[in-house]
Chains A and B, each alone.
Chain A
């Protein structure tokens, strides 16, 4: 009876340890784990000042992402999964992004679906660049993400969860923010304002 209890205890300890360890790793390499992350409103980026000296957690996160991240002198990608009020982005809603965009020689804004693929639509438009976007007064940029046609810069969305990525290329921000000197500095990223949702969309 005592031996049975010991085996049961060992199985319990191994199951607990395995689930805990793997769960912790999964969480620590995903987007919810904010070690080394920079947050500006709804936007998150993971700048690395010295990629070769990256810690084990950053290496594991990069490995799991399946991507080759932009270098420190190359640019920085900011991802948003939620609007400025913290509600998950959904293709049935209308969103307005408006900002004086931060200093970068070039930037792009792209829309992705729930499986991280580029948004597909009849107009074949999944993003804007700093050169292709229409500008308002004083260089202000306004982009509307919506399922139905909008005046101005319209990014067509399809129903379901989605994400936006703002990439700054050759920007002093990509090098500056990753250093001690840049820590605590803020930059002008666009707010993501939810205007309304079609019937049947999220509350």
Chain B
């Protein structure tokens, strides 16, 4: 009887270990994280524009047009420019773990567009040493990792504006 009580105790301990190990490894082993799904369709250095019925992410908002772009800073800083439209628009940056590390909304826009340049810590230090402190004209962002995803979400306020919002995103760039 005591023997089985001890085996049960061992089972509970194994359970705790299995639970903690799977919680920690799930983001890497899933294969179906949002980042992995979006990376599979996002081109490098260029935006792909997708309507709600085409996006690889689950539970899409039918009123949102999404644009995805993959970046790799090992080849140098990446400049992002996204034209605004009449409604809500946001540019979000995600690490490979699928965590949002920065968001800019249309309220931060100037001259009808959102513009920013993404650097690694080393690149940022280099450009600051060369040019002095940040100039107010260009927003400089430091990426926590050299690779990641840029996601643009543009709201279609009324269904009749669907095509306008999609076309408005076409000049968006991330090189």
B91-121 interface code vs A (CB 8 A; 1 in, 0 out): 0101101111111011100000000000000
Question: Measured between C-beta atoms, what is the minimum distance from A140 to chain B in Å?
Answer: 20
Question: Measured between C-beta atoms, what is the minimum distance from A53 to chain B in Å?
Answer: 9
B26 within 8 A of A: yes
Question: Measured between C-beta atoms, what is the minimum distance from B175 to chain A in Å?
Answer: 22
Interface SS of B by simple majority: mixed
Q: Given A67-B57, A68-B149, check contact A13 B14 (CB 8 Å).
A: yes
B52 within 8 A of A: yes
Binds B, one of A38-46, A69-77, A80-88, A188-196: A69-77
Q: Given A16-B15, A105-B88, A132-B157, check contact A72 B7 (CB 8 Å).
A: no
A97 within 8 A of B: no
B137 within 8 A of A: no
Interface size of B as a range: 35 or more
- Tell me whether B59 and A132 are in contact (CB under 8 A): no
Q: Given A52-B99, A108-B155, A110-B61, check contact A66 B37 (CB 8 Å).
A: yes
Question: Measured between C-beta atoms, what is the minimum distance from B124 to chain A in Å?
Answer: 17
- Tell me whether A106 and B62 are in contact (CB under 8 A): no
A57-70 interface code vs B (CB 8 A; 1 in, 0 out): 10110111111111
Question: Which residue of A is nearest B27, CB measured?
Answer: A63
- A87 and B105 CA atoms in complex are apart in Å by 37
A28 within 8 A of B: yes
- Tell me whether A132 and B158 are in contact (CB under 8 A): yes
